[in-house]
Amino acid sequence: MNQFGILMAAVSALGFVSYANAADVAMGKQKSEACAACHGANGISVSEKYPNLAGQKETYLGKQLHAFKAKTRENTLMNAIAEQLSDEDIGDLAAFFSSQPGGDGKAKSTLVAAINKSRVTFPKDYKSTYTKYTTISFAKKKQVRHYYANPIAVKAAKAGKPLPNGSKIFVEAFKVKLDENKMPIEGADGHLVAAGENPAFFTAMEIQAGWGDDIPDLLRNGDWNYAVFSGTGELKTAVNQASCLACHKPLADISYVFSLPSLTDAITK
Assess whether 132 and 102 both reside in one domain: no
Cα-flanking dihedrals φ and ψ of residue 250, to 5°? Answer: -75, 0
Q: Select from 58, 81, 110 the last residue of a domain.
A: 110
Number of Cβ within a 10 Å radius of residue 165: 13
**Is the pLDDT at 4 greater than 70, yes or no?**
no
pLDDT in tens, 144-154: 999 999 999 99
Its pTM stands at 0.87
User: How large is the C-alpha radius of gyration of the chain?
Assistant: 22
Higher pLDDT residue, 104 or 176?
176
Sheet containing strand 201-207, edge to edge, reads 131-138, 143-149, 168-175, 201-207, 224-230
Q: At what angle do helices 87-98 and 58-70 cross, to 10 degrees?
A: 140
pLDDT tier at 14, thresholds 50, 70, 90: very low
Instruction: Note the Cα 89 to chain centre separation in Å.
Output: 20
| Within-domain flag for 118 | no
pLDDT tier at 196, thresholds 50, 70, 90: very high
**Residue 86: which domain range?**
3-110
Assess whether 104 and 132 both reside in one domain: no
| Within-domain flag for 115 | no
What's the confidence (pLDDT) of residue 104?
Answer: 83
Assess whether 16 and 90 both reside in one domain: yes
Assess whether 130 and 95 both reside in one domain: no
Judge contact between 92 and 258, C-beta under 8 A. Answer: no
β-strand partners of 175: 143
Name the DSSP class of 209.
T
Least Cα distance to 37 among 216, 232, 267 occurs for 216
- Extract the runs of DSSP E, i.e. beta strands, from the chain: 131-138, 143-149, 168-175, 201-207, 224-230
What's the confidence (pLDDT) of residue 9?
Answer: 47
**Is the pLDDT at 12 greater than 90, yes or no?**
no
Q: Select from 110, 139, 163 the last residue of a domain.
A: 110
Q: Select from 77, 110, 143 the last residue of a domain.
A: 110
Assess whether 25 and 102 both reside in one domain: yes
Measured CA to CA, the distance from residue 12 to residue 269 in angstroms comes to: 54
pLDDT in tens, 29-38: 999 999 999 9
Assess whether 258 and 192 both reside in one domain: yes
Judge contact between 146 and 138, C-beta under 8 A. Answer: no
Assess whether 131 and 103 both reside in one domain: no
Number of domains in the chain: 2
Query: What's 75's domain CATH number?
Result: 1.10.760.10
